């Protein structure tokens, strides 16, 4: 029963080949059952079965399907009897194990990103403190507001929105959001530092920081919008 469920692209999956093997069915019969299911499923649910190709013993490409827990559960509904029930339980136990392992991986990745983010955030806030002094020396009357305005500008560029709630904003972000935010904050740090070293006017430095963060945000494949309640 080893490797009947694996992790691929951050998801626990099995294949029609494994189902055919464990349930002692012809692979063609399993393919037919899946195709019948796909025909009956709404479009939005068909992603639970994904067509793939695998090499047979002659290294020829043969059609198969990859499926997640939902896909397997839908398929296995048609398998009845005492022995199939035993195999269903084995598959579901394997899904549980892989999903637990996946959750642990995600937690470790999240914690690592969170720690990295804390370090970069401290660097950024130290730089903003220097920028506040710099702007004040150039005549700004409200330079302390840059702490809030730079943070808000960064969150807006990345489409990260916190509506309400008492939990720490960063604790509500996933690993990808944390990573993007960390990069954006480091960009702010660099632009502020370079601008001050070049002796630019504080307003121009802020505009450069905003433009740089927005330019970075536009390179992302898609923004993840966080609605925290």
Q: Per DSSP, what are the bridge partners of residue 13?
A: 6
Contact of 158 with 221, CB cutoff 8 Å: no
Report the predicted TM-score, pTM, of the whole model to 2 decimal places: 0.57
Main-chain phi, psi angles of 79, to 5 degrees: -100, 115
Q: Over the stretch 167-218, which tens digit does the pLDDT of each residue have?
A: 567 877 877 888 889 999 999 999 999 999 999 999 999 999 999 999 999 9
pLDDT at 166 over 70: no
Q: Over the stretch 50-82, which tens digit does the pLDDT of each residue have?
A: 999 988 778 889 999 999 999 999 898 888 777
Which residues neighbour 52 within 8 Å (Cβ) at sequence distance 6 or greater? Answer: 15, 63, 64, 65, 66
Q: What is the mean pLDDT of the chain?
A: 86
Other beta carbons less than 10 A from residue 150's beta carbon: 22
Q: Per DSSP, what are the bridge partners of residue 65?
A: 51
Q: Over the stretch 123-136, which tens digit does the pLDDT of each residue have?
A: 999 999 999 999 99
Tokens representing 204 are 């121009």
**Residue whose structure tokens are 């029963």:** 1
């Amino acid at each position: 029963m080893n490797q009947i469920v694996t992790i691929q692209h951050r998801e626990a999956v099995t294949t029609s080949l494994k189902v055919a093997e464990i349930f002692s069915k012809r692979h063609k019969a399993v393919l037919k059952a899946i195709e019948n299911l796909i025909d009956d499923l709404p479009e939005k649910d068909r992603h639970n079965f994904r067509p793939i190709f695998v090499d047979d013993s002659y290294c020829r490409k043969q059609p198969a399907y990859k499926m997640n827990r939902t896909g397997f559960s839908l398929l296995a509904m048609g398998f009845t009897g005492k022995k199939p029930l035993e195999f269903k339980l084995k598959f579901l136990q394997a899904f549980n194990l892989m999903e637990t392992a996946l959750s642990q991986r995600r937690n470790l990745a999240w914690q690592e990103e969170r720690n990295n983010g804390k370090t970069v955030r401290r660097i950024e806030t130290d730089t903003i403190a220097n920028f506040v002094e710099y702007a004040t020396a150039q005549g700004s009357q409200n330079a302390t507001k840059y702490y809030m305005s730079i943070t808000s500008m960064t969150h807006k560029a990345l489409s990260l929105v916190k509506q309400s709630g008492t939990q720490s904003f960063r604790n509500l972000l996933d690993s990808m959001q944390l990573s993007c935010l960390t990069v954006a904050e480091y960009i702010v740090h660099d632009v502020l530092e370079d601008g001050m070293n070049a002796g630019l006017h504080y307003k121009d430095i802020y505009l450069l920081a905003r433009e740089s963060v927005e330019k970075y945000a536009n390179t992302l494949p898609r923004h993840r919008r966080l609605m925290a309640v």
